Amino acid sequence: MTISIWRYSHLALAVSSFVFIVLASLTGVILAFEPISNQVQPYRVKDFDEVSLAETIQHLKANYIEILNVDVDANGFVSAVVITESGDAETFYIDPRTGHKIGDIIEKAPLFQWTTNFHRSLFLKSTGRIFIGVTSFLLFLIAVSGTVLIVKRQRSFKRFFSKIVNENFSQYYHVVLGRLSLIPIVVITLTGVYLSLYRFDLLPKETLTHNVDFDAISETPKRELHNQPIFRDTKLSDVRSVEFPFSEFVEDCYTLQLQDREVLVNQYTGEILSESKYPFIALASRLSINLHTGQGSIIWALILAVACLNILFFVYSGFVMTFKRRKGKLKNKFKKDNAKFVILIGSENGSTLQYANMLHAQLLKLGESSFIAELNAFSTYKQCEHLVVITATYGQGEAPENANKFNSIFKTISSDHAYSFSVVGFGSLAYKDFCKYAFDVDTLLQSDPNAVQLLAPFTIHNKSFEAYTQWINLWSKKVGLQIKLDGDDVLQEKKRKRTFIVLEKTVASDNPDDTFTMVLKSKFGAPRFKSGDLLAIQPEAKSAERLYSVGKVNQTVFLSVKRQELGLCSNFLNNLKPNDVIKARLIKNKEFRISKRTKHVLMIANGTGIAPFVGMIHQSATNQNMQLYWGGRQPVSFDIYKPFIENSLNTGKLKKLEIAYSQNESTKVYVQHVLERDAEQVALVLKQKGVILICGSIAMQKDVLKVLETICDRYLEYPLSVYKSNGQLKLDCY
């Protein structure tokens, strides 16, 4: 699959350096705890920022025979090197307000020592340091290329932090955590590069110089330390270290290292003999060390630790995404001009390509000549009788990466014979322009006088295998083939199944719409699931899993199924009897759940879409205002749901039930019409921070969304999209 130069760079950089990145990040996480463990020590005294240098030195002079040095570290711990009465030189932390010893100097723990050495050089001395420096730079480039990829994905810099739809765990968190840890990672990498350059003396050299006129130094006028302005007015928080005069000769002076400069001070008069600002390189090195190590700030150290953990996650999720994309390779047995079937794909992350490959494989299996290619590789196909375009949509209804040139190429190529075409759109209803690019391609193909539309564009939400199978059935009938997909085991991970016992069941033939309900109970233990989750059932070994939205009623699973005449799974389920046992697995569908704290809940369904709502109503809290709008064909259609719903109405759990019958003798009413009628109450639900849920057919969803959009325009402050991104509109349609 073609990938953009940015994605290629991002991947190539990651592949070439991931071993070092993993090692540096793992050790980075450990090292982030060193400044934290230091900072929690009790050596920073209260009011540290208020204490003056004069005060501390005076106390020290009163307590010890001689003082050689005073240091203040990034944590605000003050230490002194003193000569004690016994004549020994000792170094310890002091209380700067009294000059007394408050603790021994913290020794670097062996774990941190070992990890620091490994982190800096991998125990490979200078060679290792070079590796680590280069890795830091590569990681910086990975962060830059990643930023460009996010901007491209979001289609503008302004939308960099806009909401992202969670369609896939690795992809979603790669982007979300990437955005959050971008700044810390850039800081870690740039400071890492800087420190490496500094260590190898590759930065311009600037040294600190002092010009002292030793002939002019005088012992008078003598001043007490607390009267010398430099000591009196300098706070300890501005000091890094003080070197005391070596002897009593007037030429020996105090050397004060302050945050931004070094000052030499006459020990008798307090006169400033020389003052020199630190060169930029030295200041930048100090800042780099603090930023790179987290010294002096628990919060920053924690941010660094989290950023390092995120880097490890990026390595993992990046590889998962790459392997997924690489699964979708294109292999052809026939040349483009010898194939009867041509399948063109528009895919950015490879899933559409896997679906297209299934069709390609089946055609080859049936002995047909099939050719598969990316939309960008569009060309002439001399023997093509049936063209199939299977494409995803990206951005705001735009083409995916490997299809972005198709429109212009198509206009330059003209076919010389008649052919049929069908377009399948893969997309997500979470986006405003659902499958828009598929419709654009369909319109474009219609402009070719030789092209005949075999089927109207077919849209597939959330990579639904079920929907894809439906399209395969329709299309294969049209082209006179019998295609049966091998199942979606290509696409899904192996998951543990549960054993369920059929507790209750109606039969499809008793219902005018060939629909039935089932209540299942887990044979072993109570499964953890919520109404709105999905039950995946595989009717036969090697067959595809079918997904059903379910409701939770007293620990049982409630579902409703419409029997399809040739449907493998719906017939399999319909033939089950109470006490039969089936294997199935429950899948979380977090985006279609409601919280007990949501006061107003408006549920809209047609047909079997009522199933999750039966459970939601059953589990609702007493103060929840649950309203249900349901669309069915005729009054008897509702009979199978009556026992569940009427009971809820009687107990007051369901506050309102509105039913629309589309095939009632006198009137044809659809659920969207009833919503239109109750527009003001519908608007009130959103206004009062309630949630609207829709479950059922895609066609119903489309019509309902149109009505909701108009309601928002008419009665509310914001368009429907705002409520959707707030989580006030939840969809589960198929």
Two structure tokens written together for 227: 């009267």
**Least separation, in Å, of the C-beta of 354 and ligand FMN?**
8
In this structure, the number of other CB atoms found within 10 A of the CB of residue 272 comes to 15
Look up tokens 């109207």; give the residue. 456
Q: Are 458 and 422 in contact (CB under 8 A)?
A: yes
The DSSP annotation for 120-142 comes to: HHTT-HHHHHHHHHHHHHHHHHH
Binding mask 137-166 for ligand FMN (x = CB under 6 A): ----------------x-------------
Nearest-angstrom CA–CA distance, 553 and 530: 10
DSSP 8-state class, residue 398: B
Taking the C-alpha atoms of residue 359 and residue 426, their distance in angstroms, rounded to an integer, is 15
Q: H-helix or E-strand containing 631?
A: strand 625-632
Q: Does 543 bind ligand FMN (CB under 6 A)?
A: no
Residue 468 interacting with ligand FMN (CB under 6 A): no
433 vs 514, beta carbon nearer ligand FMN: 433
Answer for which of 28, 400, 551, 690 binds ligand FMN (CB under 6 A) is 400
- Footprint (CB under 6 A) of ligand FMN, residues 248-307: none
The yes or no reply on residue 392 touching ligand FMN (CB under 6 A) is yes
Q: Which is nearer to ligand FMN, 167 or 639 (CB)?
A: 167
* Among 245, 296, 397, 512, contact with ligand FMN (rule: CB under 6 A): 397
Burial-class residue 448 by CB neighbours within 10 Å (0-12, 13-18, 19+): middle
Listed ranges 421-429, 538-546, 632-640, 696-704: which one lies at the site for ligand FMN (CB under 6 A) = 421-429
Q: Give the nearer residue to ligand FMN in terms of CB position, either 315 or 353.
A: 353
Q: Whose structure tokens read 């002076």?
A: 253
- Cα–Cα distance between 469 and 486 in angstroms, integer? 10
C-alpha to C-alpha distance for 62 and 56, rounded to whole angstroms: 10
For residue 345, the cross-strand partners are 374, 390
Q: Which is nearer to ligand FMN, 426 or 500 (CB)?
A: 426
- Binding-site residue total for ligand FMN (CB under 6 A)? 25
Six-digit token string for 173: 């968190």
User: Using the rule CB under 6 A, is 448 a contact of ligand FMN?
Assistant: no
Nearer to ligand FMN, 34 or 374 (CB): 374
Among 228, 347, 598, 728, which residue sits at the site for ligand FMN (rule: CB under 6 A)? 347
Say which amino acid occupies 186: V
- The residue within the footprint of ligand FMN, chosen from 396, 595, 663, 726 (CB under 6 A), is 396
Residue 539 makes contact with ligand FMN by CB under 6 A: no
Tell which one of 267, 351, 543, 574 touches ligand FMN (CB under 6 A).
351
Dihedrals φ, ψ of 585, to 5°?
-130, 145
Angstrom distance (rounded) from CA 390 to CA 402: 12
By CB under 6 A, residue 52 contacts ligand FMN: no
Tell me which stretch binds ligand FMN (CB under 6 A): 101-109, 345-353, 588-596, 648-656. Answer: 345-353
Nearest CA to 55 out of 221, 236, 255 is that of 236
Closer residue to ligand FMN, CB minimum distance, 334 or 426: 426
Contact flag: residue 394 with ligand FMN (CB under 6 A): yes
**Helix or strand (DSSP H, E) at 94:** strand 89-94
DSSP character for 634? S
Task: Tell which one of 133, 294, 427, 609 touches ligand FMN (CB under 6 A).
Answer: 427
Name the residue number minimizing CB distance to ligand FMN: 427
Report if residue 428 touches ligand FMN, rule: CB under 6 A: yes
Asked if 360 touches ligand FMN (CB under 6 A), the answer is no
The tokens for 41 are 């020590």
Smallest separation (angstroms) from ligand FMN to the CB of 377: 16
The interface with ligand FMN within residues 641-680 (CB under 6 A) comprises: none
- 349 versus 574: smaller Cβ distance to ligand FMN: 349
Whether residue 516 contacts residue 578, with contact meaning beta carbons closer than 8 Å, is answered with no
Cα separation, 254 vs 69, whole angstroms: 10
> Within 10 Å of residue 292's Cβ, how many Cβ atoms?
20
Q: Is 404 in the site for ligand FMN (CB under 6 A)?
A: no
Binding flag, residue 433, ligand FMN (CB under 6 A)? yes
Task: Establish if 463 lies at the interface with ligand FMN (CB under 6 A).
Answer: yes
Binding range to ligand FMN, per CB under 6 A, among 51-59, 98-106, 424-432, 725-733: 424-432
- Work out the number of other CB atoms within 10 angstroms of the CB of residue 137: 18
Would you say 90 or 433 has its CB closer to ligand FMN?
433
Radius of gyration of the chain (CA): 36
CB-nearer residue toward ligand FMN: 237 or 396: 396
Contact 59, 99 (CB under 8 A): yes
Binding residue for ligand FMN, selected from 198, 431, 715, 718, defined by CB under 6 A:
431
Contact 189, 143 (CB under 8 A): yes
Binding stretches for ligand FMN (CB under 6 A): 153, 167, 347-353, 392-397, 400, 426-428, 431, 433-436, 463
